[in-house]
Amino acid sequence: MKSSILALVLCLVALAAGLVLGVPTAHPSGSPGVVAACTVAFALAGLLSVHLELRRNAFTVTPGEAVLVVGLFLLPPAQLVLAVAVGQSCACLIERLSGKAAFNVAQSSAAAAVAGVVFVALGHPQARSPWGWAAATLAVAGYFVVNVGAICTAVALAEHRPLREVAAATALPAAVAASASGCMGLLVAVLATLGPAVVLVAPVIGLLFVASRSVARHRSEHLRFRRLYTASSRTGGLTGLEDALVTLADEARLLVTGTTALACVDRADGSWAGVVVNDGGHRPATLDELRAAQRLVPRRSDDNDGHGHAGAATIARAVLPEALSRIAAGDVVVALSTAGEADHVALAVFRELDARDQAGGQADVLGAFARHAALTLANARLYQEVEEALRRQVDLNRQKDDFLATVSHELRTPLTSILGAVDTIARFGDRLPGERREQFFAMAKNQGQRLQRLIEDLLMVAAADAGTARCLATETDMDELACGLTADLGPLSGGRLTVELEPGLLRTDGEKLRRILVNLVENAVKYAPEGPIEVTGRRAGDFFELAVADRGPGISMFDRERIFERFVQLDQSSTRRQGGTGLGLYLCRQLVEVLGGTISVSGRNRGGTSFTVRVPDAGPQPRPGPGAGAGVGVGKVVPRRMAPAGMELG
């Protein structure tokens, strides 16, 4: 019980006790039989209740005013309050309203004490006199004011609503019910003085009670449909999947006047995601909670109207799975629906309000809302997918623009050098010293090779994207590969490169493997200007595992997947200074996949980055027959042998 409600209960108890003990009365005490009869009547009146729902709470209307009027003429205030308190306690125990018993007893006792004091103050007249009728009416009015005031205050405190709003929603039906019940009680009190004639009123009381319950039931149905319409309107424009789950759970909680709600939906990969929403906010649902919610309600197979199917039910707390019973107190209204093959939605709402006669209607309303929730989440999922695709397309277009600018720069630079060297040789001719001429020829050759390398990279990327790249498996000597890497890339690294590969032969496409390692080493030289660059390799079962490690600034966890995408360059400034197109690592991944291996990146303990390449040892394979398609083939292509400068290749 909240502290504010507890304080209200203590105030009501203090009011009842103060009025009973502080106001003297000359009315004689009633006999034990009369007190017992009034107690039983108050208990029966508490059982004959009509619930008027107010969100998560309810205003309960009972024929208690009728019993009160009779008791005013028979008992003094102290005994009247005692009969009300005991009778109300019995009714709460029978209805299993242990959580609200203290408040119900306190507010009924305080209201009865006010009514008894008012009636005594007016002279405690007889039932057959007009003054007695007026006194009883004023006493019932006092009872009504205290009773309704206490209930409206408690509801306003529990639901954080303005007291005026709660009173406006309950005052009129409560006043009508109190007036009818008070008049009926006055009629019974008058007829009781005439002997057995009082039994003639029993059928009328029964009809009035049945009519009141019917009106309350129709009002509750109207409220549920209005809430369903409001909830559907508020959730129709949801877009984000996570926000949609939270909003749908909160609307379901308000729809069936619950305290806590669980909403879950299956993801595209078949797993489930969900949230638990209550007054304190929301949290992700645990795996056990999701599994328990899915098993509660079987889907119906008889709904073939094209709008999805749904099942709904009210589950008693006693049979709830343990994972759900730990979420909140009360019984659970559950519903499961789907908008197709993928968008399954499960809703579970915990309710403390006891309204077993309306449980079926609440389950049906939640089932209807579950259909809407399934469509809403399907639309949110589609919106999220379209938004993600649009974001990727925009990002891809931006990357293409950056790539075109970079490629234009990379093409223009060697072409300018080649044209400049050729133009200088053509203009000066024999007047150019031989050594100088050789320098221009060497520069033109180097820039031509750079241009050739760029074009080959672009063609290789195109072939890999089209799926036409082939793996020509040959016997690749690891010693020759290490020697070649040292010779070609040692000067580029400024002597920082060390290559240690386990000796032996590896059956793979040696040219593509060399291209992968060259790209990785050049990437390390570009982004790690200081520190050693280490290339290591060893056998690991049927695979050969190679690693290229540096001591540079490293790569963040967020960027470790992005670097293998096309056109991605994390540091544009380095690219502009040292060249590059943003295709090097993407090409490495594509070539590794052609070789049937994997590539990954990780950080190092002392800083830097390590790229790991695992390629399978193809082993002896038959030569492909005529007409064999693209794929892993066997050939006699031997990788270009690379040696240190000054050595002659034989």
Q: Are strands 260-266 and 272-278 parallel, antiparallel or unpaired?
A: antiparallel
Mean pLDDT of 220-248: 70
- How high is the pLDDT of residue 359? 53
326 has a pLDDT exceeding 60: yes
Closest to 181 measured CA to CA, from 87, 59, 91, 67: 67
- The DSSP secondary structure of 415-466, one letter per residue, reads HHHHHHHHHHHHHHGGGS-HHHHHHHHHHHHHHHHHHHHHHHHHHHHHHHHH
- How high is the pLDDT of residue 622? 39
Cα gap 305→55, rounded to integer Å: 32
Mean pLDDT of 534-540: 93
631 has a pLDDT exceeding 50: no
- The DSSP secondary structure of 483-533, one letter per residue, reads HHHHHHHTTTTTT-EEEEE--SEEEE-HHHHHHHHHHHHHHHHHH--SS-E
Counting residues of the chain whose pLDDT is more than 90, the rounded percentage is 10
9-23, 44-58, 91-105: which has the minimum mean pLDDT? 44-58
Instruction: Give tens-digit pLDDT for 484-500.
Output: 999 988 888 888 999 99
**What values do phi and psi take at 242, rounded to 5?**
-65, -45
Q: Taking every pair of C-alpha atoms in the chain, what is the biggest distance, in angstroms? A: 146
- How high is the pLDDT of residue 620? 40
Q: Residue 640's pLDDT band (boundaries 50, 70, 90)?
A: very low
Q: Residue 151's pLDDT band (boundaries 50, 70, 90)?
A: confident
What lies within 8 Å, CB to CB, of 249 at 6+ separation is 261, 262, 263, 275, 276, 277, 282, 347
Q: What is the pTM of this model?
A: 0.45
Residue pair 478/508 in contact (Cβ under 8 Å)? The answer is: no
- How high is the pLDDT of residue 623? 35
Mean pLDDT of 546-568: 79
Mean pLDDT of 102-117: 88
Instruction: Pull the structure tokens for residue 162.
Output: 């303005």
- How high is the pLDDT of residue 306? 39
- How high is the pLDDT of residue 303? 44
Q: Are strands 471-477 and 505-508 parallel, antiparallel or unpaired?
A: antiparallel
Closest to 514 measured CA to CA, from 494, 536, 484: 484
Cα gap 464→600, rounded to integer Å: 19
188 has a pLDDT exceeding 70: yes
Instruction: Pull the structure tokens for residue 486.
Output: 């040292």
Cα gap 432→395, rounded to integer Å: 51
634 or 477, higher pLDDT: 477
- How high is the pLDDT of residue 574? 47
Looking at the DSSP bridge assignments, the partners of residue 603 are 609
47-56, 83-92, 279-288, 342-351: which has the minimum mean pLDDT? 47-56
Cα gap 151→100, rounded to integer Å: 11
601 or 327, higher pLDDT: 601
Cα gap 494→529, rounded to integer Å: 9
Decide: residue 383, CB within 10 A, 0-12 exposed, 13-18 middle, 19+ buried.
middle
Cα gap 291→279, rounded to integer Å: 24
Instruction: Pull the structure tokens for residue 578.
Output: 């040292």
Task: Kindly report the average pLDDT of the chain as a whole number.
Answer: 76
Cα gap 259→349, rounded to integer Å: 7
297 or 370, higher pLDDT: 370
Counting residues of the chain whose pLDDT is more than 70, the rounded percentage is 73
240 or 185, higher pLDDT: 185
- How high is the pLDDT of residue 55? 54
Provide the 10 A C-beta neighbour count for residue 628. Answer: 11
572 has a pLDDT exceeding 80: no
Q: Residue 506's pLDDT band (boundaries 50, 70, 90)?
A: very high
Mean pLDDT of 84-89: 87
Instruction: Give tens-digit pLDDT for 374-396.
Output: 777 777 778 878 888 888 888 87
| Buried-state track 459-494, b at ≥16 Cβ within 10 A, e below 16 | ebbeebeeeebbbebbebbbebbbbbbbbbbbeebe
Residue pair 624/633 in contact (Cβ under 8 Å)? The answer is: yes
Instruction: Give tens-digit pLDDT for 60-72.
Output: 667 778 888 888 8
Instruction: Give tens-digit pLDDT for 200-212.
Output: 666 766 666 666 6
539 or 377, higher pLDDT: 539
Instruction: Give tens-digit pLDDT for 336-372.
Output: 776 554 567 778 888 765 544 455 566 777 777 777 7
Q: Residue 297's pLDDT band (boundaries 50, 70, 90)?
A: low
Three state DSSP letters for 51-92: EEEECCEEEEECCHHHHHHHHHHHCCHHHHHHHHHHHHHHHH
Q: How far apart are the first and last CA of the chain?
A: 93
Provide the 10 A C-beta neighbour count for residue 439. Answer: 13
- How high is the pLDDT of residue 508? 92
DSSP code for 286: P
Cα gap 128→112, rounded to integer Å: 22
642 has a pLDDT exceeding 80: no
307 has a pLDDT exceeding 50: no
Angle at 280 between CA 276 and CA 281, to 5 degrees: 50
CB-side exposure of 162: number of CA atoms within 13 Å? 4
Alpha-carbon distance values, 134 to 126, 127, 141, 147 (Å): 11, 10, 11, 20
184 or 609, higher pLDDT: 609
Cα gap 442→455, rounded to integer Å: 20
79-93, 131-145, 265-279: which has the minimum mean pLDDT? 265-279
Mean pLDDT of 110-138: 85
Instruction: Give tens-digit pLDDT for 587-607.
Output: 888 899 989 999 998 887 777
Alpha helices in 256-358 (DSSP H): 287-296, 322-325
- How high is the pLDDT of residue 629? 36
- How high is the pLDDT of residue 557? 77
Provide the 10 A C-beta neighbour count for residue 409. Answer: 14
**What values do phi and psi take at 10, rounded to 5?**
-65, -40
Cα gap 507→627, rounded to integer Å: 23
CB-side exposure of 98: number of CA atoms within 13 Å? 3
- How high is the pLDDT of residue 346? 79
Cα gap 444→421, rounded to integer Å: 6
Mean pLDDT of 540-552: 91
327 or 448, higher pLDDT: 448
